Structure 1
Amino acid sequence: MFRKIREALTSFVSTLGEAVSKKELSEKEFNEIFEEFQWLLLEGDVAFEAVEILRSRLASKLVGAKVPRLGSSREYVLGVIRDTLKELLAGSTFGKDLSALIKESQKPYVIVFLGVNGVGKTTTIAKVAYKLLSDGLKPLIVAADTFRAGALEQLEIHAGRVGVPIIKGKYGADPAAVAKDGVIHAVKSRYDAVLVDTAGRMHTDRDLMEELRKVVKVVKPNLKVLVLDALVGNDAVSQARWFDEAVGVDAVILTKVDADVKGGSALSIILTLGKKILYVGVGQSYSDLLEFNPDLILNNLLSINT
């Protein structure tokens, strides 16, 4: 991934490196060079808001900067870009291994999963359950999506495949009641973690959002995790802001990152969201869930020809 952005960075570093090798860079000169870079980023599906964040940060470090006399202007520019991106990406790091967090917390540790239809929420819950189980924890899945046809069966199949028990209600049942029953069962049976699935809903559906508020109020989760599709770009940011206003979002799992060939959508979400990224989904297998690692993304972005 990030092919388009790597290509844009290669051109930007070359042009900017040549400019700063001759004299101090003026704001006007920086903006002229950045404008070409901007169009390449936009073609790579980077959102305008994310582009402006990069412009502002880079301008503050490069305008008026002096390249060390014995240094390479190209390497200097690359170093500034690397440091800037690292600062921006590091701000989205969750900061703690989820399994370690659960182990040191009061049990059961309750996680409610949020998201619109089609983002891969059901599969993601199974991936998280698989990871917790692999780390020696005892997770329980609670199917509180009693709204969408086939949702209970789909989650039950995933739970069976990863070997994690599931509690489910009937279609049309009160999701908050199902979720509460699941937590009560987890307490009695000494489960370490409860993973609550909720109905995939459009963030503009006020009735379903009110239902979600009720689920959160009843089970009082330790963590509210929003699942977002890396391929939808700006709309994912809108979804996140709406869910955050409605019930509060503690962390995000970004799915389908491996399918984002250009990389712009994923980068836009990370830079503009203002939320911690817990995991990124990079494939179809249950083990294809990686902790968000800024260095991994940075290395992908900056494996450019210098």
Structure 2
Amino acid sequence: MAFESLSEKLQNVFKNLRGKGRLTEADVAAALKEVKMALLEADVNFKVVKNFIKSVQERAIGQDVMSSLTPGQMVIKIVNEEMVKLMGSETTEIAFKPGNEITVIMMCGLQGAGKTTTTAKLAGKFKTKGKKPLLVACDIYRPAAIEQLQINGNKQGVPVFTMGDKHKPVNIAKAAIEHAAKNNMNVVILDTAGRLHIDEDMMNELIEIKENVSVYQTILVVDAMTGQDAVNVSEMFNDKIGIDGVILTKLDGDTRGGAALSIRAVTGKPILYTGVGEKLSDLEQFYPDRMASRILGMGDILTLIDKAQAEFDETKARELEKKIKKAEFDFNDFLDQMHQIKKMGGFADILKMMPGMGGQLKDVDIDESALSGIEAIIYSMTIEERTNPDILNPSRKKRIAKGAGVDISEVNRIVKQFEQSKKMMKQFSGMLGSKGGKRKFKLPFGF
């Protein structure tokens, strides 16, 4: 996960600061030297790091901090505030034309950054906000690019305009806007061609589109895993064609995360969204304050709430609450909850967003594959058995075990632990246990 290494190093620095009753200027200087090294190792732009450390130091050695009863916490607060400022302070939305006027958005970026998939993800976001988007296949060079956009557009329930690969992208864009006007669509998203590197032909093609079509927003898609190169690409695109914002993809990968901390400072352009997975729903609005909180190991409870609100059915949640109160929670309900948690990204992702949990999970082996085994056992039950587990006698359990391809002892274990789970539905504490080496994280409800 992005920022894991950076977050761990910063938390160690802050741990030492918290342990001191009083801070000297030397203490602050030593701590900030470690912060500087951690940021550079995370591939944050050198100039950005230099200015960041300078700003923090100027504030941290002020009289109000040094004379504070908790100077260590004051320094951490300053680092947090400066990091938020570095990434733009406020969340930036993609701008639309007023009323039902057609907003043309041009997507651009290098090949391999995930531009086409991100374009479809964005169309899905707009649709949920009440917009009527049209995806436009302007990448006439990459094999299967048009088909990829059509498949993803279909999954999102968004129409795709294409004229094949024999027309110039600028002409395809013009025809798409006419089509949108005739069909009452108000957002046209152009999926332009990428290249393996920045070249003159690609830039000229994008410039030609902008000169002939009223592009309202130009959005650059960059790969977070390329680190400082992502910042360089952003700067070049902005200099040559002008961009309005950036979408950072693959932020869920094994990346040092420096691009997220550098792009705004280097280009002056905001990060709009981050791609955090391969599913078409895995696109998150970028909140500088939430990102800073994650980096500093303070969790991200607001994004967790957003995820829950997006994925959980409110009516079902109320029904479940009533069942829990009456101890009527059954295997159907549990199956439903497992599916909801999977949609949110799984237990590991959820727990990392909880304050203070990121660092604790470093050496924890979260066995989410256990859920698949539980699902197989529940699916092997009849509707009656799922609804009323009390009727599960030895012969029924034997049949269920055979259907799930497991030993009957596994079925007995799940049934026993399910009964125990009714009593601990609202308890998340006490789930971490340590028995030497890697700690085993038991899934909630004892599974």
Give TM-score, length-normalised by structure 1: 0.88
2: CA distance between counterparts of 1:65 and 1:8? 27
- 1:66 deviates by 4.4
Where 1:241 maps in the other structure, the secondary structure is: helix
Q: Which moved more, 1:258-267 or 1:285-294?
A: 258-267
Q: Which moved more, 1:117-126 or 1:31-40?
A: 31-40
- 2:11 corresponds in structure 1 to 10
Distance 1:269 1:85, change over 3 A: same
Does structure 2 retain, via aligned residues, the 8 Å contact 1:112–1:197? Answer: yes
Letter in 1 for 2:4: R
Distance 1:70 1:152, change over 3 A: closer
Does structure 1 retain, via aligned residues, the 8 Å contact 2:124–2:156? Answer: yes
- 1:128 deviates by 0.8
Does structure 1 retain, via aligned residues, the 8 Å contact 2:142–2:193? Answer: yes
Where 2:130 maps in the other structure, the secondary structure is: coil
Where 1:107 maps in the other structure, the secondary structure is: coil
2: CA distance between counterparts of 1:21 and 1:48? 30
Where 1:199 maps in the other structure, the secondary structure is: coil
Runs of 4+ in 1 over 6 A off after TM superposition: none
2:79 is aligned, of 78, 81, 94, to 81
- 1:202 deviates by 4.6
Distance 1:208 1:303, change over 3 A: closer
- 2:225 corresponds in structure 1 to 231
Structure 1 portions without partners, runs of 5+: none
Does structure 2 retain, via aligned residues, the 8 Å contact 1:280–1:291? Answer: yes
* Aligned: 1:280 with 2:278: no
Work out which structure has the larger RCO, using CA pairs closer than 8 Å and 6 or more positions apart in sequence: 1
- 2:172 corresponds in structure 1 to 178
1: CA distance between counterparts of 2:142 and 2:196? 12
1:194 is aligned, of 178, 185, 188, to 188
- 2:111 corresponds in structure 1 to 117
Any residues of structure 2 matched to 1:261-300 within 5 Å, and which?
A: 261-300=255-294
* Aligned: 1:21 with 2:29: no
- 1:133 corresponds in structure 2 to 127
Does structure 1 retain, via aligned residues, the 8 Å contact 2:87–2:262? Answer: no
Does structure 2 retain, via aligned residues, the 8 Å contact 1:224–1:251? Answer: yes
Letter in 1 for 2:70: S
Does structure 1 retain, via aligned residues, the 8 Å contact 2:207–2:241? Answer: yes
Letter in 1 for 2:14: V
Does structure 1 retain, via aligned residues, the 8 Å contact 2:223–2:250? Answer: yes
Any residues of structure 2 matched to 1:66-77 within 5 Å, and which?
A: 66-67=64-65, 69=67, 71-77=69-75
- 2:53 corresponds in structure 1 to 55
> How many percent identity over aligned positions?
35
Give TM-score, length-normalised by structure 2: 0.62
Greater Rg, structure 1 or structure 2? 2
Does structure 1 retain, via aligned residues, the 8 Å contact 2:195–2:202? Answer: yes
Distance 1:64 1:296, change over 3 A: closer
Distance 1:124 1:151, change over 3 A: same
Where 1:209 maps in the other structure, the secondary structure is: helix
- 1:271 deviates by 4.6
Distance 1:93 1:260, change over 3 A: farther
2:145 is aligned, of 132, 144, 151, to 151
- 1:112 deviates by 0.4
1: CA distance between counterparts of 2:259 and 2:96? 31
- 1:160 deviates by 1.6
- 1:252 deviates by 0.8
Where 1:257 maps in the other structure, the secondary structure is: coil
Where 1:157 maps in the other structure, the secondary structure is: helix
1:258 is aligned, of 231, 252, 261, to 252
Letter in 2 for 1:275: K
1:35 is aligned, of 33, 36, 51, to 33
2: CA distance between counterparts of 1:261 and 1:215? 33
1: CA distance between counterparts of 2:70 and 2:54? 24
Letter in 2 for 1:48: F
Q: Which moved more, 1:155-164 or 1:61-70?
A: 61-70
Any residues of structure 2 matched to 1:184-223 within 5 Å, and which?
A: 184-202=178-196, 204-223=198-217
Where 1:259 maps in the other structure, the secondary structure is: coil
Does structure 1 retain, via aligned residues, the 8 Å contact 2:134–2:185? Answer: yes
Offset from partner CA, 1:258-293 (integer Å, 9 cap, x none): 114543343333554421111111111111111111
Does structure 2 retain, via aligned residues, the 8 Å contact 1:234–1:269? Answer: no
Distance 1:152 1:118, change over 3 A: same
Does structure 2 retain, via aligned residues, the 8 Å contact 1:176–1:214? Answer: yes
Does structure 1 retain, via aligned residues, the 8 Å contact 2:88–2:288? Answer: yes
Does structure 1 retain, via aligned residues, the 8 Å contact 2:20–2:72? Answer: no
2: CA distance between counterparts of 1:152 and 1:205? 22
- 1:184 deviates by 1.1
